[in-house]
Structure 1
């Protein structure tokens, strides 16, 4: 049974946790610093959360790093985020590999710069044999965009005769999603006090449990993650059925 940092036994917790990491900009502004200062603090917080996963029984962790809508932010902030992603991958690659973390990226890579794409590919390759924690990072990701891209690929297979229209059902589309090799999330967490899902894992989260917490992402700790996992373990999940 997984245990928290105080060695307290935890109830059955989520196997796959997805996090909308929100509040970096507000955290920085509250300290009189530029928004990018908050994004750098948020990146450091990712390491603590990833390291906490094995003790909490979390096998899969998916984090929302940059959405398809985030291109609407200022050029300075977008450029700073892209630089941060490159720096994070370069700095953390060895540690992630040594800690048994397998990294995947989801989202549309077409709009990303070639150097970042190359680093993403390298990190995926370097960690491909790891299996302790599966870390999925969503960059230039949007749930609607993902479904649209998946549908185009599915339609192409139908047009080429690889798939019959009558065989398409709710089990078919997931095979074309970016997350096709991952289980659906059990628990979705959003930080910063906002109570919306912001186009994140729309298909996959159909039966996920949600936690909306006031904590800004740079202040989110492994202890708070453990608390949310305990909350999850105390919930009764019926998936549309009723208790006998």
Structure 2
């Protein structure tokens, strides 16, 4: 990945931060984009301290014009864009599908599907010939969770987005793939073990991890770095004949045919 240029959304924490570290460690110049500039800057600093090359950028991925401008700016600065990793996403609401209101649905679609469409569009317009787009999906599309419809429905759309765009961009040598994480220890999953005051509760953490691990053949949750390793693989030349695919990083919790 030496001297290749990558944009990573949601780079301020979790899988985004780990992906920035992985790509920079392999020699890429990394743009760490996040709605929270402070955390994006922290990621860039961590990368640079380790000898990598990164800079931070505040970016609202639900704003199509802002995302397009950011990607164009990267291309103008470096003369290329080799990797677009659409990592940003979050559970925006929970509750039964029957009671899901329009606002909850719109927020889920905006952050977890439309923003990835915008990222793919922006990258496709500047990549020219060759490049890799990596979208982050979710294990919830393989094992439906009753109160996560506003999250899992958009994430299911990400799979079709990936397939459609892989077909369209293949002739230009641009590969498009999805990484679908299972139960990964991130800030999002940490919400399950906070007490009433919002502070982490280690006993709740132990109980939650134990409960989640029961259905995982490898017997444990995953780490962000384990997902980032697959993002790095898909970004690089080792995946030169891989496109339109979903790679599940889930410890075996779901094994579709």
Give the alignment's TM-score, normalised by structure 2: 0.34
Bigger relative CO (Cα 8 Å, ≥ 6 apart): 1
